[in-house]
Amino acid sequence: MSNREVAEELLKAGGLAGLKGVVFLNEADKRTVLLREGMKEVDLAQCGLAWEERFTFYDHAHTTGMDIKQPLSCTACLTLSKDMTFRDYSQGAYRMRGIGKGQCIELIVIPEVESLIKRNLAKAEGKPVADRNPDNFIVDAIAWLVLNGLGKDAKKHKLLCQQNIINLLRTAAMKHMESAPHTPETIQSWVAQPKTRLSLNQLRNRINYDVCNNVVEAAQPRPLSEKLEQEFEGHLRVPSSLGASTWEDSGSTAAGGGWQQLANRDSFPGKDAEWKKFNDPQQCQDLCMRNNYGGFVVFQGFAYFRRQGREELLAEQKESWGATLWVVPDTSQPLSEAAQEAQKKFGELFQELKTSEEASQKAQQSEADDSGEGGLELSQEQVQEQEQEQEQEQEQEQEQEQEMEIEQEQEQVVEAAARQSYDRKDSGPVPWKTADLDKDLSKAKMPFFQLSEFAVSKGIVKSSVDALTGLPSYLLLSDNYYRREWRFKSVRRLKNIICFLEWVPDSKNLPELKEAIKLTDSQKKQLEEAFALYDKDGNGHIDEFESRDFFRDQDLEAEGEEIMKSLNGQPLTLERVEEELSNQSFYKLQQGRYFVALSLDEAEHFRGVLHSMKQADRKKVGVFSETCGLALRSVGNSESLLGDSLLDERGPVTSSAILGYQREVSEQLLRFTNCSHSFEARELSVLLRALQGTELERRAPWWLDLRNCRRRAQVPYQQLPLAKVFTAQDGLDDLKVEAMLSRLRWAFRRRQPPLRVADAFLLMDTNRDGRLDMTELRIGLEWLRLHKAQKLDKGNPVWQEQVAALAKRCDKDNDGGIDLTEFKEALELDEMDYQGMPEAQYAEEAADAASFCDSPPSSMIHPQGPQLPNLSEEDCRLSGNGRFRLKWVRHGDFDEIWSTKRTLAERRLSLYSAKHLRKGKARELISFGDFAVCDYDKRPEQVEMLDVQDNHESGFFNSGDRAKLEAFLNAFFPHPVRFSKVWTQISSANPATGERYDLYLWRPVPPSDDYVALGLVATTDNREPEVTRARCVLKKWTEPLPDNAAPIWSDAGTGGQAATFYAETTGHQHRGTTFEASAGSEESVCPKMLRFQSIGGSKVYANLPPDAQ
């Protein structure tokens, strides 16, 4: 697959919820983003996505030298392959530039690679795999990667030795080629010389097409050192017919004639000879060079060739040879000094290669055993290919670094003010008296003006300048930052708003500020619909608990608590909410409190004045009254990790504020004026409410005019997180959706028993495809009667629009469906909120209340197991005779699932699962759940379990057919259709072993209301158990416990969500018993428990219902 195809699969698979694009390297090695919307491919520098909105995919080839910015809280998934080295691992990890500062890495290893790691490390340690007890997988993985790197280095060393030997041969040949004459008259004769032809042959990279026809030799190739030795020997001693070697002069007879002639036929040792027929000796000479033959001799029209490094000649063995002439190398002839020097260098290289081969022989054999491949044999063409690959990788890295530098320059260029003719004249400071701060704004002569009057000039020939009217009156700008007359005269470049002044002239005179905002009919209608959803009991007002949701969904939790305190227990009505929103009384704004944006130079001088004021106050010689409050604040501090904009203060400026909401509004509006675009959810909500009095269509032009005069990225505002401010008049649309989610949570809580979010999803997912479409969501909401809460019919268009809005809110990845993760993210509360939610008392009609507790409609069916029979009263009767015998027997075969032995729990507990439940062909023990033992040194023993036997198929003379027994068990003891999670205990990993001791409890979900579950099932991971782990039982065959169950264990000492386990008070908790659990706020409440009804005598009987046969 190409990188583009991988990016498409990632977006299509739905696993990147909340992300808008995938970053990858395309075929041209360009950093590219594939956008989810429209599957468009754009350059990274022009995508407009924030770091948190994109997923980055690196293929192996691009993990070196590639730098793509990632969020500080980003987690990388690093995969390991079988051929990976520590260098590859570290290069991949280095893509995360913030490791240890918030970024982290998780390893993903497939089982095959994990097994390979264990085997290789066990061999390196010299012990069997079963005897290894790894303490830390990360350490093992790094050790294995280092071993892989050493193995590759050994192979590279062999390659280096081969290259050095080949270079030794080529050096002499190259010297001869450099001695070529430069005159045309002699060049032809020089080329025809045998030494020249031999030198040219040595400089060529010939491809060897020889294929061994011997299976044994092919399976066991000759070592590389032997091949190179034979090749060097063939070049060192050249037969006389070919002239001198490349280390000898053309006329030398020292080694060039180092071949002797023999006339003895018996000296030929070859049996299976090869031969060629040639009449032309020149053809034989060419054949020698092409095939690296060591020499040849022609006799009676046949040419006999010698292989490199072999003593025998290759010829056809015939009876009519007669006195044949043979040639063999004559090693008695001395070599020239150049040849001797070459032979000496070759000996050093050969010994190095031989030592390397012997040292790596075991490692190569181990690798061959694991991978099924042999050792590495490098040919000349492989040497050339690897050299070319290395050069290409270096060139590619250089190109990538150059491209990234260019892209970074482009990104920096984009972050610039628009190209305009900016004026800097008349920009001197405007002084003002600090003594006037003790006076009210209307009396003080301060160079301040309201933010609602602020606008910038767009030039003489451009359109008129419009201010954004309707902004809060308490937010001001200083003339030292921007003078009002400039908007009509010249274009000025805007500097960042860094500091602002919070000013309270008289803290004792701060009446409530009521800036009326007239709600439109549409806004009133939206507010009414949202209020009806929060009014869960339908009494026309919202109480303390209902108002908690109302204020939380508006990001006004702290403000909401103050508001409810001021009501003194009185409920909040819709009329009161409308009045408070119109007057903004909810926010406790104060008249006489101002916020002024200062220039940086102005703020610097004012901080000095502030210090002087504080010193004068301490000496009690100050000229300011004690009621005057001043605070210097920084916009940048509120955006940073500090979270507080305060730099310095004097007087009762912060202590006189009822809430911090007015200051927060000012901070967000100044950031908006500063053309920032990174706003969190609450910050965006505050900004939307602050802009509620402005005209929607004038916000974007005003903001874009300001941005043109600032050094900002000039990207379309539709691509920014701030875009919502320019498309929504207020947050009432979002409030209505959040109100539906709040009502849905209450509906889940109202069910008996309460419905968990995951269970509700399974109920609504009628086609079992793992996602909710619009129809399934609508039917589920109607079953929970959310449309009735607003007095809407199912076919009402308003109701259809609300369902669509809710689906859009939950569908984070915009794939047209809601998966379980998205559903839980939208609806699940944290434990504190869930426990604080009271049981609602609804004042609805009896019929409506009863219908709410009914089973889901036919379109929302439980996932079905085998078809259940229709049982009559007679079918369910237990008697003293029948085909199937039910009897309590003792069982002692169990597997341990979990214990508190390695946890911090104060009380001991172990959980076990029964095994070997089939007792013969026609008998089976019934497991209603797992068993608890209040100890961790004792296994369950002599535990009573229900034994069901088919008497007609039992015994020596019966067939033992289980068909009827399975039908009986399916009718009266069916398996659950699924499990619902009851409780979770998450533990920290053991620092020494990395093991975890998590516990998950699951309750079986019966196939219908005619059956019940009598126990729980435990697992150590978050995967739902198999339905065969437990059986349910016919409800008519159960009875309540005669006495309340007693607690047998609590999670005291372990931390996390509280839980208590309960079991029947029979004293069996020390040898094994089924149990129930209560968790959360109800952990101290004993659950209602059932048990299998008492059996008169030792056994009872039942028959197979006719409908089940």
Give yes or no for a cis peptide into 753 (omega within 30° of 0): yes
Q: Which two tokens stand for residue 69?
A: 């910015």
Q: What is the pLDDT of residue 412?
A: 43
**pLDDT at res. 237:** 60
> What is the pLDDT averaged over residues 69-79?
86
pLDDT digits (tens, 9 = 90+) for 338-394: 777 877 888 888 788 777 777 766 555 554 454 444 333 444 445 455 555 566 566
What residues contact residue 724 under an 8 Å CB cut-off, 6+ apart? 684, 688
In this structure, which amino acid lies at residue 1108? A
| Mean pLDDT over the full length of the chain | 75
* AA identity, residue 667: E
The confidence band for 912, taking pLDDT boundaries of 50, 70 and 90, is very high
What does the pLDDT average to over 1001-1025? 89
Residue 56 has pLDDT above 70, yes or no: yes
Would you place residue 886 in the very low, low, confident or very high pLDDT band (cuts 50, 70, 90)?
very high
For residue 421 the two structure tokens come to 């003719």
The secondary structure of 310-331 as a DSSP string is: -SSEE----TT--S--EEEE-T
Residue 596 pLDDT > 90? yes
How far is residue 642 CA from its own chain's centroid?
28
Mean of the pLDDT values across residues 592-602? Answer: 92
Contact between 536 and 843 under an 8 Å Cβ cutoff? The reply is no
Residue 206 or 568, more confident: 568
Report which of residues 1101 and 959 the model is more confident about.
1101
User: C-alpha dihedral over 107, 112, 113, 115, to 10 degrees?
Assistant: 110
Query: What percent of the chain lies above the pLDDT cut of 70?
Result: 74
Query: In what helix (H) or strand (E) does residue 598 lie, and over which residues does it extend?
Result: strand 594-598
Per-residue pLDDT at 837: 44
Identify the pLDDT of residue 994: 67
pLDDT at 925: 92
CA 967 vs. chain centroid, Å, equals 46
Q: Quick check: 249 pLDDT over 60?
A: no
Model pLDDT, residue 333: 55
In this structure, are strands 884-891 and 943-950 parallel, antiparallel, or unpaired? antiparallel
Q: Look at residue 815 and tell me whether its pLDDT is greater than 80.
A: no
Q: How many CA atoms does the CB half-sphere of 283 hold within 13 Å?
A: 10
Q: At what angle do helices 757-764 and 820-827 cross, to 10 degrees?
A: 130
Higher pLDDT, 1100 or 752: 1100
Please give the Cα distance from 910 to 902 (Å, whole number): 11
Quickly state the pLDDT bin for 14 (edges 50, 70, 90): low
Residues ≥6 apart with Cβ < 8 Å to 744? 781, 784, 786, 827
Contact between residue 430 and residue 501 where contact means Cβ atoms under 8 Å apart:
no
Residue of 298, 316, 315 whose CA lies nearest to 307: 315
Query: What is the model's pLDDT at position 1056?
Result: 61
Per-residue pLDDT, 499: 92
Q: Is the pLDDT confidence value at 777 over 90?
A: no
pLDDT at residue 313, as a whole number: 39
pLDDT for res 158: 79
- Tokens 């011997």 belong to 214
Distance CA 12, CA 34 (A): 12
Distance CA 466, CA 643 (A): 33
| Main-chain phi, psi angles of 888, to 5 degrees | -85, 125
Strands 594-598 and 475-478: what pairing? parallel
pLDDT value, residue 38: 75
**pLDDT tens-digit profile of 150-198?**
888 888 887 888 788 888 878 888 888 888 887 777 887 887 777 777 7
What tens digit of pLDDT does each residue of 217-227 get?
Answer: 445 566 777 77
What tokens appear for 148 in the block? 């892989």
The full 3-state SS of 26-45, as one line of letters, equals CCCCCEEEEECHHHCEEEHH
Cα–Cα nearest to 985, from 1079, 1084, 1085, 1069: 1079
Q: Residue 780's Cα: distance from chain center in Å?
A: 31
Contacts of 914 (CB under 8 A, 6+ apart): 891, 893, 894, 925, 927, 930, 931, 943, 945
Please say if the pLDDT value at position 467 is more than 80: yes
Enter the tokens of residue 260. Answer: 């002797």
Nearest to 698 by CA among 666, 669, 725, 732: 725
Backbone angles phi, psi at 1090, to 5 degrees: -115, 165
Most confident of 127-131, 843-847, 991-995: 127-131
- pTM beyond cutoff 0.85: no
User: What is the C-alpha to C-alpha distance for residues 372 and 29, in angstroms, rounded to an integer?
Assistant: 34
How sure is the predictor about 449, in pLDDT bands with cuts at 50, 70 and 90?
A: very high
User: Band of the pLDDT at 314, cuts 50, 70, 90?
Assistant: very low
Is it the case that residue 629 has pLDDT exceeding 80?
A: yes
